[in-house]
Chains A and B, each alone.
Chain A
Amino acid sequence: MTVSLELHDIQGNVVKGYGRQHFSFARYILFAIHDERAGRKFIRNILPLITTATPWKTCDNDSGGVPKPEATTNIAFTYHGLKCLGLPESSLHSFPTDFSDGMRARRDILGDHGKSAPENWDPVWNHPDKKVAILVSINGQSTVAIENRYKEIQKILEGVKSGMEQLCGHRGESGAEDLPYQEASAIFNEQGDPTPKEHFGYTDGISNPFFKGTGKNPNLVIGSGKPSRDNPEGWAPIEPGEFLLGYRDESQETPKAPTPPLLAKNGTFMVYRKLHQNVNSFDTYLSNQSTKHPEFNEEEIAAKFAGRWRNGAPITRFPTEEEADNFVKSVKETKKALDNAKDAIELEEAELLYSVLLSQYSAFNYDEDLDGSRCPVGAHIRRCNPRGSLEYGTKAYATPGALTNRRRLLRRGLPYGDSSDRSRDDGNHGIIFMTLGASISRQFEFVQQQWINYGNDFKAANEKDPLLGNHGVDKLGRGNGKMLFQKNKGSDESPYFCSHIPRFVDMHGGEYFFLPSITALHFIGRGTVDGT
């Protein structure tokens, strides 16, 4: 069935990520609301700036759409924020408890302990009397565009005087503790071009769920939709209700959502987490492990951890470093040929080859690698998106995605900070991780608790995700994470063991947000949510 999404009513960054569309910079601003009327006025005044999912006119697409902006603006609310804005009790009570509890209260589910415990988060999350109510995010094609948009928002804020307050307390460079906003940006290479890398050196954000109604190239469904035995390609688009409220979801229902229905429709929930990356621990671990156990070199261990080579090539499809390098080299060469095509025929050929090559980053599953001898069963991408492999080749369920279709995460976000000094962990470097979905508990929290911080579903006992797991420490202060790199069943070779993996990623603050539709923003801004 064809689904048409109301793109003009859905906030931008939901249907298509900004990151892949040359928005290399972002700024995240948190606000408290002291006066309900002021909060509503702020929303009414910022509404004209809010970016929707309406397609952009681009050089290769002039068939309608709006001009692509230099900067985008989006707005989201915590449960506390919705309360401050005077939503009726009946609506407030209709929100799911994961959202109304908030991230801090869910720390045990998320494994946010020790250095990652809420009391150690950036001070902005710990103001005793000023709780975060609103998140405004600006994404920009340049820092100038960000700054200009930021100034516009500052003016709107001045218009509500003391009724709202921009919260300071984001940590930044050189021990700064009280910054007024969180900056984020792609990591730039020596030529000054933005890269898709994160601070551990991996190409990030490659695979995102393909769902109905986005208008994306239908070929991209392979590897990004849901695994399916009914489709000849083996993949089908996911129902949009997994990511947007008010549409059919994978249980063939409209997802549970707050009332009235128009408050929810075209909206979604967003998880925001500032994830600090311990770059020194990561580099040191790879180097020590490969020195001590040289069967795998640093790159190979990094690839086994992630399930992708750091250049992005999936290890299950490109099991050797050489194959992965050759693949990425041919992608780059084809892109060059595409850019330099002399005539229409050359262009068409290059385009065809390029799209075939690009699809290989995502178009794979683990059917030929059930034992995990190429991509370990506990590798990061295999945990977070098992691609039907939890059926273990048995065809035990009506669909191979039975255990995974309702756990997919739409990932957004950008790196922050600078990791050029890799001699220490405590610099300012990490990822602003954001994920969108119709149910925080069913999707994000489940993945975090069961698949990142536990291994039972992968028959990996209590092993955690090597990269993101909340590994503890033993009595000598060493990390107690572990991971097994499998070999083929029946092979004489011994498996490869990684012990004493330390915690590579610490949580530095975050919250659960509701990202309403444009219609709902009007309701909230006017104070007319209760239609009765």
Chain B
Amino acid sequence: MRFTIIGAGRVGLRTARVLREEGHEVTLVERDAETAARARERSFEVIEGDGSREQVLREAGVETADAVGALTSDLNANFAACLIGKGHGCRTVLRIDEDYREGIYQQYADEVDEIVYPERLGAIGARNALLGGSIQAIADVAQSLQILLITITDGSPMRGYTLSEVALPSEARILAFGKADSPLGIPLPDDSLEAGDRVAVLAEFSELAEVRQLLVGDEPATAVAGGE
């Protein structure tokens, strides 16, 4: 796919790097000459200019892009870039600067398909690092819904059972499964759970304790601190 990323700073450049590693085509737009030069040193195509201006985004290929990531620290520029991107039929992602704005943009900004708040994602990572253990929160999908990556341990009650035998709480779902040394893939009913295997589970916060009890057992009790 083709992506136009506005902002080549901390957030924009990292996003561009991940997309490029996955084989996508990325063009960056950056206003600051020094920041633009740093991105070029890393072999990125960078258009130097104001990403809230249509002419600049055209130069960056917005007309043929699949999606626009407005990832600068300037909320006005981000919103303008999303308006232009939407006008060209792109999927639009807007970075916000304060968390209370998430709800406001979700409700009112029809031109914005998705909102990212980098500090929130950073907090999930920091929480995982601090808690350690066999459960990792991957994402807060919604206010009460979380995706967890659970590593099966020797003490897991479900070790030795197959996925079809795992009786999760009613609203929880197994999204992906991976053997100890393989990447995650589509979960199959006959996959058996051994120590070191990983299971991605989507669950309501209210059911997290039950999911943990089932797949991890009693350790580590503090790792499911879900919620905000």
- A and B are partners in one complex rather than unrelated chains: no
Residues of B within 8 A of A (CB): none
Residues of A within 8 A of B (CB): none
